[in-house]
Every structure is written in structure tokens, then in C-alpha cells.
Structure 1
């Protein structure tokens, strides 16, 4: 076996692509994040937000049908399955199982809030590993910031801004920090260059939202607020793309924490997705023009206008 074939086989084994006796192989430990690390390529069949459909256990009749009584037994309820006269004493002695303790049929979990696949195959990660990004992390300041090698006024927004938005679904550092901080720096120095790039940003933003990872969704919504507020007319240019952006917001519209009369000291961290979604929708409505509210209402029927008329 050649050295290249052996190396590729070891990489597949390490990342669980090869199974041993029907069981997946153990995954590699986290990378050291050094400059010598390279992300192992993932199969092309993996894409962000992929939903895995689980086959039904019962082929004859779905086990959530009203005619089912047990999860493990499919069929209608027969007379012997009902409690009869004189079974009260037997139930107390444990001879006859009570009907209330039987596992009744119910629908399977829909998985609407379940995190979906988020493979490390972003173009931003590849460009950073190849050294194509004209920046570096500046560790000399009181907090981490980016040291750009070129002036932001000379940066090609049509290439770099979608590239950085593609990296917002990264969860490993330094990819996550560079992507988020790079977007903030580019939006601050936009000066009319962000508006023409809006159509190229929809697919990366949609991929980040489709992962259904709360940390990624929270970061994406905060960047959307900054995107709308950085220049004029951006809010109106996003209105035709509400059908791609708002469905995930509708899922987490009511994802709030009821703490009664207590105080939430973590409000500044913006971890409550329900409040963050509401703030994003209000910014969309206020900056989206006359057609913003009716389009938001079409995708999120429970939304109420925040504009005082």
C-alpha cells in the first residue's frame, strides 16, 4: 500500500468514516489549533443543516396511530386489554397492570430544535489555512483584535465579505473569532460597499441558521442587526430574501426563559434567542420600508408591529 493511501485510510478511520464490526470508529481528539494543523476533508455528502430522516420501526402501521395501544405492538385495542369488573384488587396486588401505566402510542419527536450537521468545510477555513487572508491576530492590545495587512478601503468586498460570512458557522478558534471580528471591521469601514454584496450573503447566512445551533444562531442574528444598521437601504434590500432568513427565526420565536420576578443578569450576553429574534425583527421592520411588516407577518404570523403609527 502506498504512503498516500495509508495516510488517507488512517484519516478516514480517525474521523469515523470507516466502521469496525458495525460500530463507528472513535473520533480524533480536538486539534491543537497550531499553524501546522490542517482540517481533514469531509465527504461531499455532508452539508450544513442536513436533516437525517429516521425510518419507522413499525412497517405495517405507524405506532402513533390512534388504533395503537403499545409502542412495541401494533394493532387495535381488544376487549381483554380493557379493565374489567373486579380488576381493582388485582391491580393493587400487581397481578393486572393498570391501564394508566401502559405505554400509550404517541407521535415521534419532530426534532425541530435539534442541532443539525455542521461540517468543518467552510471556504473561510480553507483560505485561512492557505494564508490567503490579508490579516493576522494582534495580541499586543488589551483585547484581541485583527491587524489588517492592507487598508480596508482597498479590500474587495465582493470576495472577502461573503467569505467571512461563510465562517460564522465555525465554532473553533481562531476561525470563529477572525470571521466575526472581520465582519465587524468590514461593516464599519463599508462606506457604500456593503449594499451591492447583499445577494451574495444570503446563502452563507442561511447555512449558519440551518445548523440550528443556538450559539451560531445568536451570533448570526447579532451580525444581521449590525449589517442592517451599517448603511441605508440595506434593510430594504433584505426584504426579498425574508423567505430564506425568517423560517428559522419563526422556530425560535418563543424560545424564552420564564424566570418570574427574578433578574436575568446575563442579558448583556444576549443568550435568549426569543428576545434576540424579536429585536432582529424589529430592526428589519424599522429599516425595511413599507413592505417589511407585511412580509414579516407572512412568514411569522405571531409578530406584532413595533412601529408606532
Structure 2
């Protein structure tokens, strides 16, 4: 008896389409245009703080040898009547204004690549865990500003697991990830310094990765978090232990601060309306270094001075 052919079922289970490969979630709110541009420029292997997408400036061979690059002469490059200087340095004014050649402003390439922004792909651990529903946080839309509604008591959280994840989300620039990560870090640090102190070694890599992006808004955010971090144990029973625990990791944190320490906004007699938000990068870096020295113990200044030579001590001896 011939085998009966089974009817084709069009309702079979199909694999869910992954829209964004950064997190594997169809609910990811990442801008797809940014992801496609980043994938085309770095072949999908973008790393936070990497140097792959920096603009390259062509090397001048005259700087390394006696050879000089000259332009190719054309048959039309000869002197015409009335165009010479007559042996003087004064050039005669052209009679016809239409013949005056107006040179276009040259587009200046950034010579100092240390200040150029590095790639910041949306592949943070915070985004991945948040979209899987593994983080006990949600936004509380109420009042004047948004707040975080914790689903569990903060004191019951495993800081060794959750605090590095929230610190990794500090380099997020898209909402709601940027707000949740930043506010979550502040809430966990204010809950008790005894649980923050043992996790300091796990926070260095996320802090260094965020600073290596060289994005001004990300660096400002990280500096404000660092200032709160070193003073979160300045309670009557505290002994500035967190500031002392950060001293061995200055080699990972301070090099980026040394690059941007002179990034002050010189407005002359203008008004800087960003002072209230404390967004002046140079002043914020100086404040952070002063916090490090005051709360870092007796070995803090010599380590700061080694990595930031222009820094001057503020502690009166």
C-alpha cells in the first residue's frame, strides 16, 4: 500500500527573527541606522573604546626625507599681462571684481587623535540583562522626574553580580538604558558602603571601558559617579576605605583624565549656562582628582602626580 503523503502544515513553529544582533532581542530600541553604519565601518566587530574608526591623516613624506611633494604643472600656468608684481611685494588691485578668486575654507582634520571619540557599540551587559528581564528594576513614571522602582529590596541584592552590570551600563547613551544604569548605580551606592567596598576590583574594567569611549557626556557621567563612589563611606563609622581601594587602579582610570584635563570652555565675558549641570570637563576632572587625593590616603597624591603631572596638591600639610 503506497504511503500517504502528509499535508503540508504552514503553521509550523518558525524561529523567531532577531532584529538586533547586539542583544538578540526584538524589543531593542537601538537606532538601526547607527548599527548598520557601525557594521559597515567595522565589519560588525566594533569594540568599545577601539581605534578602528578613527580618521587617518596622510603622512607627509617631506617630514621623513628631503623629497617634497609638488603639484603637476599645466600649460596654462604662465604670467599674463597685468598680473605681475613689478619686482615689488605689493600686488596690484584687480580692476574687475568678478575675476577675484575666492578660496573656499579648507576642512581641517583633527590633528590630535587623542581627543577623537571612539566606538561605543550598544553591546553592554546591562542592556543584555535588562532586555532578558533579569534586572529587578523598572521606571516609575511619576512626579516631576522619573525614578527607579526596585522590585526587591536593594539590601538583598548580590552586589558582586549586579553592581558591575550597572557600571557597565554607564556608557549607554540611549534611553531608557542610560537613565536606569546611572540611577541604579546611585541607589546601590547609597544603600550601604559595606557591600560596595568588596566589589571595587570588578568595577575597574567597566569604568575604564566607559572612559575609553572619549565621549564627553559619558566621561562627565562617569566622573560624577566616581565622586559619589569615593565619598559614599564618609559616614561616622567609615574610614575612607573605598578611596584607598581605588589607588592601585589609578593606572587604568587616570590616563584618560590626563588627556582631557585642559578641556575648559573659554567663553571670555560670556555666560556658561552649563555650570549648573556641571558639564565643564576640565573643572570636573580637577574636582575628581581632588576627591581622590583627599579620600585616597597618604599614597594617593604621589600616584596621581605620576599619571597627571600638572596636578597640584590641595591637602595642607
How many residue pairs match? The answer is 267
**Which residue is equivalent to 1:121?**
123
Aligned equivalents of 2:151 and 2:133: distance in 1?
A: 12
Give the TM-score normalised by the residue count of structure 2: 0.73
Q: CA RMSD in A?
A: 3.7
**Which residue is equivalent to 2:61?**
62
Correspondence list, 1:144-293, <5 A: 144-231=146-233, 232-293=240-301
Which ranges of structure 2 fall in alignment gaps of 5 or more residues? 1-13, 72-84, 95-102, 104-108, 234-239
Structure 1, residues 209-266: CA drift from partner, whole Å, max 9, x if none?
0000000000000000001111230000000000100000001111101233444332
Structure 1, residues 260-303: CA drift from partner, whole Å, max 9, x if none?
34443321111110000000000000000000000000001110
Structure 1 residues 132, 293: CA separation in 2 closer, same or farther (over 3 Å shift)? same
1:37 and 2:45 are equivalent in the alignment = no
Aligned equivalents of 1:109 and 1:286: distance in 2?
A: 36
**What secondary structure, in the 3-state scheme, does the structure 2 residue paired with 1:267 have?**
coil
Which of 254-263 and 226-235 deviates more?
Answer: 254-263
Q: Is the 8 A contact 2:20 2:26 kept in 1?
A: no
**Which residue is equivalent to 2:306?**
298
Which of 222-231 and 47-56 deviates more?
Answer: 47-56
Deviation at 1:135, TM superposition (A): 1.3
Structure 1, residues 42-89: CA drift from partner, whole Å, max 9, x if none?
76631111113666746xx6354484655x66xxxxxxxxxxx96547
Q: Is the 8 A contact 1:64 1:108 kept in 2?
A: no
Aligned equivalents of 1:123 and 1:47: distance in 2?
A: 13
Aligned equivalents of 1:243 and 1:203: distance in 2?
A: 12
Which of 206-215 and 34-43 deviates more?
Answer: 34-43
Indicate the structure (1 or 2) with the bigger Cα radius of gyration.
2
1:47 and 2:47 are equivalent in the alignment = yes
Aligned equivalents of 1:144 and 1:11: distance in 2?
A: 27
Structure 1, residues 17-40: CA drift from partner, whole Å, max 9, x if none?
xxxxxxxxxxxxxxxxx9833658
Aligned equivalents of 1:176 and 1:36: distance in 2?
A: 16
**Which residue is equivalent to 1:110?**
112
Structure 1 residues 89, 267: CA separation in 2 closer, same or farther (over 3 Å shift)? closer
Structure 1 residues 267, 126: CA separation in 2 closer, same or farther (over 3 Å shift)? same
Which ranges of structure 1 fall in alignment gaps of 5 or more residues? 16-33, 74-84, 95-100, 102-106
Deviation at 1:188, TM superposition (A): 0.4
**What secondary structure, in the 3-state scheme, does the structure 1 residue paired with 2:115 have?**
coil
Deviation at 1:110, TM superposition (A): 3.0
Aligned equivalents of 1:116 and 1:63: distance in 2?
A: 30
Q: Is the 8 A contact 1:56 1:62 kept in 2?
A: no
Structure 1 residues 279, 57: CA separation in 2 closer, same or farther (over 3 Å shift)? closer
Deviation at 1:109, TM superposition (A): 1.6
